[in-house]
Structure 1
Amino acid sequence: MLTRAEDRLQNLWDDARAATMSEPEKLLYRSNLLGSDKRITNYGGGNTSAKVMETDPLTGGEVEVLWVKGSGGDVGSIKMDGFATLYMEKLEALKDKYRGVEFEDEMVGYLPHCTFNLNPRAASIDTPLHAYVPAKHVDHMHPDAIIAIAASKDSKALTQEIFGDEIGWLPWKKPGYELGLWLEAFCKDNPDAKGVVLESHGLFTWDDDAKACYELTLEIIQKAMDWFAGKTAEQPAFGGAVHESLAPEARRAVAARLMPAIRGFVSGNQHMVGHFEDSDAVLDFVNARDMPGLAALGTSCPDHFLRTKIRPLVVDFDPRTGDVDAVLDGLAGQIAAYREDYTAYYERCKHGDSPAIRDPNAVVYLVPGVGMITFAKDKATARISGEFYVNAINVMRGASAVSEYQGLPEQEAFDIEYWLLEEAKLQRMPKPKSLAGRVALVTGGAGGIGAATAARYLAEGACVMLADIDAGALDGTAEGLIQTFGRDAVRTVEINVTDEAAVARAFAEIAVEFGGVDILVSNAGIASSAPVEDTTLALWQKNMDVLSTGYFLVSREAFKLLRAQGIGGSIVFVASKNGLAASPNASAYCTAKASELHLARCLALEGAEAGIRVNVVNPDAVLRGSRIWEGEWLEQRASTYGTDKGGLEEMYRNRSMLKRSVFPEDIAEAAYFLASDRSAKSTGNIINVDAGNKEAFTR
């Protein structure tokens, strides 16, 4: 939280741009500006509002309407349709329905009755907090600098010391209707106050002008950051370091070994995806003397522990010895102990109507000398969970430097984690896609079949690492997929499948980026055509190197990683009709492809006891988008069949039994079937996707 001049919060408000906006549009503008800086608020955290005069669509009269961020939104990326709109008159009338704090949750059920203009956006639990502040514009943010104050034992005194009477303080209270009434009472009792710090929660600020509210929020947060900078500049963080960080490559190497093992333990109910973080803030914390004690206290802000669980698991790794094998040997015991501790927490704190216990595994894993690992249902959630724990680290750094850090009381934390309203939100989540949580590596990923297969997997919720020897094509293909499916789910690695060390590095990379692997699509390929007497040893060997040895190398590394996880997996070979049906002037290619088929059968035998399925897709004549048809192979095959380039696809189509062309998406569909649970009882099989070729019948 140190604030060099270049690190100060920037006022990004553009008067010329704002001059053209309506009040709701200014609210959106303000929200996006605030959410663009994680020092102001974390992803999905905080909310904003504006009270606006609108024309009632029923009466035609002017009414006051509360525009407030809807449930589940993110202020940084919210659009106009992300705001709930409610009649202020009806929100005021809710006070007559309130039966007291023990019944406050029922007030959420009344919020839809206050909806203005049939807006379908659901109002959040924080709506009363905005409604009852007597100001036109209200910001509620979760800045690390403010939460560090809010989570300190001397929170109230520190708030007074830093802000005087400008910013007030309220003790911890679970978000909800009662807290909204507390805020209203505070404003009435302190009419000159510009905001309030909520203990263990965050910051509220308000004004009657949109720009002034935005600038006030920045000013208050910056004041807190400056105050911490003056107090903590010379202090060692978290009691000083007791471990030294490993070198960056060594940190990733350790993570690459730990993450698949952890993933295997935590994927019992659903496949989980991992994220690794070794930023300076994380390393300062995991290497520190006070880290174990602070981590055990748990996080303070509700937004933090809803994403990270109440506390992390500290992995028993000593960076001085670097003994990863010893950690792996003890990992099962550590994870079992965490589950037992979490189950005991649930049993101590549960109520008669509490939801059933959820996944008892840790989300956050702290590794001294290495960094932080997080696991969640998808990559974005794992990454965001890590970001939230970095927020928590910053809070602990600040609070413990100027006072004593305190997490929420255990019962209060439980009551939010297992809040019936939170459970209802979870139950409304859409059903996971068929490959949710799965991780795939696709070799030959920049080609037509590889790219189509990756897109099919991504559409079903998988994470994909594209591997290819052509760096330029790889980047172009990845960027196209990122545009459609988002950056979190797509990674790339440049790889020559005939290079043993490069293949090993690729699997280490996927282990760090996603936590492991579930699906290998072995698709890297070349093609050559020549009469046998013109087939040089070099040409023969090149086919064998890429299409036989290359498939062996990537499969071998996949088996190692799949066995380390212990949760099964699927390997799909993209072979060829020519593995079954001989073709003239292509002995090297056909023989290498036949080798792939038999390798798959062997691997199916070896992998079955570990739940590793191995199957094959046999394409034929996939010209569109295929890079092996861009060069000599196209000319050679056209020459073999006495046609030209333009007539070759028509020739292949007419040669097929179904008289249809085969496209990359057709191969991708078969590769999806063989990787998904729809084929869970299939291994050692071949699916021909060739529009029908009797010579390639498997029986």
Structure 2
Amino acid sequence: MKNLWDHKEALQFEENTLQMRVYSSRLLGKDSDLVLHGGGNTSVKVKQKNIFGEEEEILYVKGSGYDLATVEENSFTPLRLNTLRKLVKMEDITDAEMIRQQKMAMSNPDAPTPSVEALLHTIIPIDWIDHTHADAVVTITNTNMAKELIQEIYGDRLLVVPYTMPGFKLARKVFEMTMKTDWTSFEGMLLLNHGIFSFGESANESYGRMIELVSLAEDYLVKNSIPTETVTKTELTGLFSEKEELLKHSRIRRKVSEIRGNAMLSQLNFSVEACTFANLKNVKEIATRGPLTSDHLIRTKPVPVVIDPENPNKSIDDFSDAYKEYFGRHTNGKQKCLDSAPRLAIWPGYGMVAFGDDLTESRIVSDIGNHTMKAIQLAENLTMGAPYAGWHPVSEKHLFEAEYWELQQAKIISKNVDRGEQKTILEFKGKIAIVTGAASGIGLACAHELLNQGAVVVGLDLNPEISKLFWESGMFGIQCDVTDKNAIFEAVAETVRQFGGIDILVLNAGTFTAGQTIEDIEEQTWAMSLEINLTAPQQLLQACVPFLKEGIDPAVVFMASRNVTAPGAGASAYSVPKAGQTQLARIAALELGKFGIRVNILHPDCVYDTGLWTQEALELSAKRYGLSVEQYKSRNILKTDVKTKEVARMVCAMAGPVFSKTTGAQIPIDGGSERVI
């Protein structure tokens, strides 16, 4: 493991203790082999004067839920050490009471909730303390020979603490073990099946010790673990390129979502590493022994589901039943069973699948899965001659205690409260949408509105700038010619590979051709409009239907036109394909209703903040009606123009629960047209 300490960079924080604490914390957070997504914590002890001018000893400890990679000064909570030292001497209190008392010890009531491990930082009488869940260290402790291996690697350099439930019990255990301990005789503390602490008289010393101690474990694993024979890239060629394989993924996602009770994203990992692990003969046995650390439970549940390639749905049902039985075995009758849907799947022949309510969650689960499968293989392949180490995490009983720990559940319920974030209902959270013509105008507005309401959005457009326009997390742009069947299938396939399915399809791409009468219309103009405005949406719908059938409350919205219900002279090349598109949508509603797929049509008009309405197009249209441009733009009943954002909101309404009982409908959004009415 590389020591990232930069003496020149650190020099600028020399006069500010808290800034130095932020600097070294971020160094730890940069390495996912040390901490993952909010894991671990750091602290520093200082002396400060209070408002009365009295000097107090203060412990600055990372706030609960904050990520070491991105901490700021205000991510640390100042606690009065005098109070904490009294607290740790109490023989027995609940964890909820511990947190309440820690909050009362805060010298700044606006600071975040302190780490549940603040008392551990209190017990260690050294100023700078770092704590990580380093993969290599936890891997060593998750073996049948943990004590022997730790002694061989570290000798007497570390205080070794048996696995104890985090919270007050762990703090009290360490307190009782160390009442007569000379802490300066140790370089750190190792918590079995949990993680490692390092400490020092400076940030550099504590950080350097952490890197050295973890490196020793890494080196030992490299030297003493037999590498797993990997699958070859050739064996993976073409994986998830066929429709049937992609449909399997969609069906798995649907089943997991049904058990979860809401839409979930399903992210595939069919890398060489994931497929190698999934294809191990004993994968079902070793993958289901338990997690890398109990800190991961709120993300992954105790174990993954191992999918039977011949019957994926049964595998998921069996997992759900087994989870309920696990709950029944260990509950004291006071806990409420969490949902029984898996968060991680091992799929022999295909790799690994991570499930999440949103993109952030599924990525976190995927990261944890990647680190866990590596750790399992290292532990299983450890050899010391005859003795066998093997993967041996904490017991099922301990896993249940950790998963249903009141403080862990509090993290799930209110993970954003400390940051003051407003909780809003995201209508499309966990849903997957495809929007065509997404690089500008109505399509771009639809993409942003769907994203704002929780969906991940795949935008298709011929414009090569689409990938740059879709820069926000949850938006993915694919340059795609929607008149090219091969390009359409690949765009659909990539969507399913990345997220697991399709729930919402917005057929918006189109081209406006007007100004030519039927007598004068050019053959090329007519053919192009038919291809873009009618054939392209038909082909994309055709490609998406198999996946929409496996979608969660699936919906299709066709972007037609006021020209369908009230056509204008000189616009046949545009109006006729749009009328055909409307008829296509009506038939789709009839055909797809039995699968729960809703299909509705939107007829916009007077949407002038789009690329279609150039000044030239406006002048031509106004001329046909004998009006000025300004008169033309306000010719509707409400004397208003319609914004792309307003069309996008209507699209979201039609794709959401407001229109859950409606299909085959045609909705105008045109400011009121006398000709339509």
How would you bin the TM-score normalised by the shorter chain?
Answer: over 0.9
CA contact (8 A) 1:440 1:520 kept: yes
The residue matched to 1:618 in structure 2 has which SS?
strand
Identify the residue that residue 186 of structure 2 maps to in structure 1: 193
- Matches of 1:100 and 1:504, distance apart in 2: 62
Q: Secondary structure at the match of 2:238?
A: helix
The 1:255–1:113 alpha-carbon spacing in structure 2 relative to 1, beyond 3 Å, is: farther
Indicate how the Cα distance of structure 1 residues 674 and 608 shifts in structure 2: closer, same or farther if over 3 A, else same: same
C-alpha distance in 1 between matches for 2:616 and 2:329: 71
Q: Does 1:627 align with 2:627?
A: no
2:308 corresponds to which of 302, 305, 316: 316
Report the identity percentage.
Answer: 29
1:524-603 residue pairs with structure 2 within 5 A?
A: 524-529=509-514, 530-565=516-551, 567-603=552-588
Determine if the alignment matches structure 1 residue 53 to structure 2 residue 47: yes
Residues of 2 paired with 1:344 and 1:564: CA distance?
Answer: 29
Instruction: Identify the residue that residue 289 of structure 2 maps to in structure 1.
Output: 297
Deviation of residue 81 (structure 1)? 2.4
Out of 405, 408, 413, the residue aligned to residue 399 of structure 2 is: 413
Q: How far is 1:431 from its partner?
A: 5.5
Question: Alignment partner for residue 66 of structure 2, among 63, 69, 73?
Answer: 73
For 1:668 and 1:312, the matched residues in 2 are separated by 39
TM-score, normalization: structure 1?
Answer: 0.89
Query: Which has a greater percent of helix?
Result: 1
Instruction: Tell me, in whole angstroms, the C-alpha distance in 1 between the residues paired with 2:124 and 2:73.
Output: 22
* 1:258 matches 2:248: yes
Following superposition, the deviation at residue 130 of structure 1 comes to 1.5
For 1:36 and 1:169, how far apart are their aligned partners in 2?
26
| Equivalent residue, structure 2, for 1:454 | 447
In the alignment, which residue of structure 1 is the partner of 2:80?
87
Contact 2:96–2:407 (CA under 8 A) maintained in structure 1: yes
The structural deviation recorded for 1:412 is 0.5
Q: CA deviation at 1:618?
A: 1.6
Q: Indicate the residue corresponding to 1:324 in structure 2.
A: none
Partner of 2:324: 343
Give the aligned partner of residue 146 of structure 1: 137
- In the alignment, structure 2 segments of 5+ residues that lack a partner are 383-388, 416-422
Query: Post-superposition shift, 1:548?
Result: 1.1
Letter in 2 for 1:310: P
Matches within 5 A, 1:412-431: 412-428=398-414, 430=423
Amino acid at match of 2:673: N
Match of 1:162 among 142, 153, 163: 153
Deviations 1:477-526 (A, max 9, x none): 212xx1xxxx2x12122222222222222221111111111111110011
Instruction: Tell me if 1:497 matches 2:482.
Output: yes
> What residue ranges of structure 1 are gaps of 5+ in the alignment?
1-7, 318-326
Instruction: Show CA shifts across 1:164-193 (max 9, x none).
Output: 222232111111122123334555525211
* In 2, Cα distance between equivalents of 1:556 and 1:139: 56
CA RMSD of aligned residues (A): 2.2
> How many Å separate the matches in 2 of 1:378 and 1:580?
39
> 1:633: how far off?
4.3
Residue deviations 1:187-220 (CA, integer Å, cap 9, x gap): 5525211112211111111112112211221121
User: Structure 2 counterpart of 1:589, which letter?
Assistant: Y
Matches within 5 A, 1:506-517: 506-517=491-502
Q: Deviations over 1:55-86 (max 9, x none)?
A: 213x2222111111111111112222222221
Structure 1 residue identity aligned to 2:212:
E
- The reply to whether residue 694 of structure 1 matches residue 674 of structure 2 is yes
Paired with 2:357 and 2:73, the residues of 1 have a C-alpha distance of 28
- Which stretch shifts more, 13-22 or 200-209? 13-22
Change (3 A) 1:490 1:631: same
Return the alpha-carbon distance in structure 1 between the equivalents of residues 271 and 313 of structure 2. 27
> Does the residue aligned with 1:299 lie in a helix, a strand or coil?
coil
CA distance in 1, matches of 2:615, 2:224: 67
Q: How does 1:655-670 map to 2 (within 5 A)?
A: 655-670=635-650
The one-letter code sitting in structure 2 at the alignment partner of 1:543 is S
With over 3 angstroms needed to count, the CA separation of the structure-2 counterparts of 1:310 and 1:406, relative to structure 1, is same
Q: Answer yes or no: is the 8 Å Cα contact 2:230–2:273 preserved in 1.
A: no
Which residue number corresponds to residue 92 of structure 2? Answer: 100
Aligned partner of residue 246 in structure 1, secondary structure = helix
For residue 428 of structure 1, report the CA deviation from its aligned partner.
2.6
Change (3 A) 1:182 1:203: same
- Kindly provide the amino acid, as one letter, of the partner of residue 326 in structure 2: Y
Under a length normalisation based on structure 2, what TM-score does the superposition of the two structures give?
A: 0.92
The 1:297–1:631 alpha-carbon spacing in structure 2 relative to 1, beyond 3 Å, is farther
Number of matched residues? 657
Would you say 1:109 and 2:100 are equivalent positions? yes
User: 1:275 aligned to 2:260?
Assistant: no
1:632-643 maps to which residues of 2 (within 5 A)?
633=617, 636-637=620-621, 640=624
Q: Give the residue type in structure 2 aligned to 1:345.
A: Y
- 2:451 aligned partner, one-letter code: L
Q: Give the Cα–Cα distance (whole angstroms) in 1 for the partners of residues 320 and 648 of structure 2.
A: 39
Output the CA distance in 1 between the equivalents of 2:231 and 2:602: 54
Instruction: Tell me the secondary structure at the aligned position of residue 159 of structure 2.
Output: strand
Does 2:28 correspond to 1:34? Answer: yes
Structure 2 counterparts to residues 108-147 of structure 1, below 5 A: 108-147=99-138
Query: Any idea what SS the aligned residue of 2:519 has?
Result: helix
Corresponding position of 1:361? 341
Conserved 8 A contact 2:607-2:642: yes
SS for the counterpart of 1:693 is coil
Q: Is residue 561–residue 603 contact of structure 2 (8 Å, CA) maintained in 1?
A: yes
Counterpart CA distance in 1 for 2:570 and 2:5 is 67
Shift of 1:265: 0.8
Alpha-carbon distance in structure 2 between the residues aligned to 1:386 and 1:247: 19
Using the TM superposition, give the Cα deviation of residue 636 of structure 1 relative to its aligned residue in structure 2, in angstroms: 4.5
Deviations 1:599-625 (A, max 9, x none): 22222222222221111222113222x
Partner of 2:235: 246
Paired AA for residue 360 in structure 2 = A
Counterparts of 2:583 and 2:651, CA distance in 1: 18
**What is the rounded CA distance, in whole Å, between the counterparts of 1:637 and 1:217 in structure 2?**
72
Asked if structure 2 preserves the Cα contact closer than 8 Å seen for 1:159 and 1:168, the reply is no
Q: Who is 1:320 aligned against?
A: none
Secondary structure at the counterpart of residue 79 of structure 2: strand
The answer (yes or no) to whether the contact 2:20–2:203 under 8 Å persists in 1 is yes
- Contact persistence 2:95–2:168 (CA under 8 A): yes
Q: Which amino acid in structure 1 is aligned with residue 98 of structure 2? A: M
Contact 2:503 2:548 in 1 (8 A): yes
1:396 matches 2:396:
no
Q: Quickly say closer, same or farther: Cα 1:424–1:306, change in 2 above 3 A.
A: closer
The 2-side partners of 1:255 and 1:413 are apart by 34
Letter of the structure 1 residue corresponding to residue 547 of structure 2: L
How far 1:576 moved relative to its partner? 1.2
SS state at 1:220 partner: helix
Question: Distance between the aligned counterparts of 1:255 and 1:85, measured in 2?
Answer: 53
Contact residue 438 and residue 447 of structure 2 kept, 8 A: yes
Give 1:244 shift: 8.7
CA distance in 2, matches of 1:245, 1:179: 49
Tell me if structure 1 keeps the 8 A contact 2:5–2:204: no
Report the residue type matching 1:602 in the other structure: I
* CA deviation map 1:248-269 (0-9, x unaligned): 4324557623221011112221
State the secondary structure of the residue aligned to 1:189.
coil
Structure 2 CA distance for aligned equivalents of residues 71 and 380 of structure 1:
18
1:5 corresponds to which residue? none
| Superposed displacement of residue 642, structure 1 | 6.5
CA contact (8 A) 2:434 2:459 kept: yes
Work out the CA distance in 2 between the residues paired with 1:122 and 1:546. Answer: 56
Worse-matched range after superposition: 371-380 or 395-404: 395-404
* Alignment partners' CA distance in 2, 1:642 and 1:226: 83
